[in-house]
Amino acid sequence: MGGWVTRLWWGGDPDSPHPASGLSRRDVYLVKRQWKAIYANVIPNGVELFKRYFRAHPDAKRFFIFVSKLREDDYDTSAQFKAHVLNLMGALNAAVEHLHEPDVAAALMAKVGESHRRRSIKKQNFYDMKDVFLKMLAEVTESDQVALQSWGRAVDFLFGSILTTLEPDPAAA
Is residue 89 assigned to a domain? yes
Residue-number span of the structural domain to which 34 is assigned: 26-168
Tell me whether residue 121 is in a domain: yes
DSSP codes joined into one string, 39-86: HTTHHHHHHHHHHHHHHH-GGGGGG-HHHHTS-GGGGGG-HHHHHHHH
Q: Residue 1 — pLDDT band, cuts 50, 70, 90?
A: very low
Which residue would you say has higher pLDDT here, 151 or 173? 151
69 located within any domain: yes
In a domain, 51, yes or no: yes
Of 128, 121, 118, the closest CA to residue 50 belongs to 128
pLDDT at 140: 86
Mean pLDDT of 114-122: 90
Q: How many domains does the chain have?
A: 1
Confidence of residue 11 (pLDDT cuts 50, 70, 90): low
In a domain, 131, yes or no: yes
* Interval 24-61: pLDDT, tens: 999 999 999 999 999 999 999 999 999 999 999 999 99
Domain membership flag for residue 4: no
Is 79 within the bounds of a domain? Answer: yes
Query: Tens digit of pLDDT for each residue in 53-97?
Result: 999 999 999 988 888 888 999 999 999 999 999 999 999 999 999
Give dist(CA 140, CA 26) in Å, integer. Answer: 21
19, part of any domain: no
pLDDT for residue 169: 57
Q: CATH number for the domain including 74? A: 1.10.490.10
